[in-house]
Amino acid sequence: MTIIERLDADLARTGMTVGRHPMAHVRQEMDRLGITRADRLDKIRNNIWVKIAGCVIARQRPGSAKGFMFMSLEDETGLMNAIVTPDFFDKNRLVLLESRFLIVEGPLQNVDGVINIKAQKVASLPLSTMVATVSHDFH
């Protein structure tokens, strides 16, 4: 089995892996694409455009949020949060809801140490078709 096949088998059967995080296997490619790791976001100034990528671990769209969706993504270094406006959600619904791994681009918001990315571009990562992960959506 290849590394990805082993990772996929672990995740499909147990929901976790004892090996490296799926994003660690594509880190060189992510670095080449200018993707910022979770552990580096706190060093970036407010309103700077960034690209993040990771496994979607949660999607929330509370009724009190006026159509906004909040996503948590995970890479091998930590968690990242993205905010999705209602208009952006409507235009990108399929990618946002169906993709297991995402690239999200937009301005970084760092207010009182709380870091979010305001999603303005989104794309599915090819890794998402190979690795069986499940996010916790709309709980």
Residue 64 structure tokens: 């009190």
CA pair distance 110, 61, nearest whole angstrom: 21
- What pLDDT is attached to residue 128? 43
Residue 62 structure tokens: 């509370």
Query: Is residue 11 scored above 70 in pLDDT?
Result: no
How does residue 26 score in pLDDT terms, banded at 50, 70 and 90? confident
Residue whose token pair is 């297991």: 100
Residue whose token pair is 């999607």: 59
Count of CB atoms situated within 10 Å of the CB of 69: 22
Q: What is the pLDDT of residues 67-126, one digit of tens each?
A: 999 999 999 999 999 999 999 999 999 999 998 899 999 999 998 889 999 999 999 987
SS (H, E, C) 76-90: CCEEEEEEECHHHHH
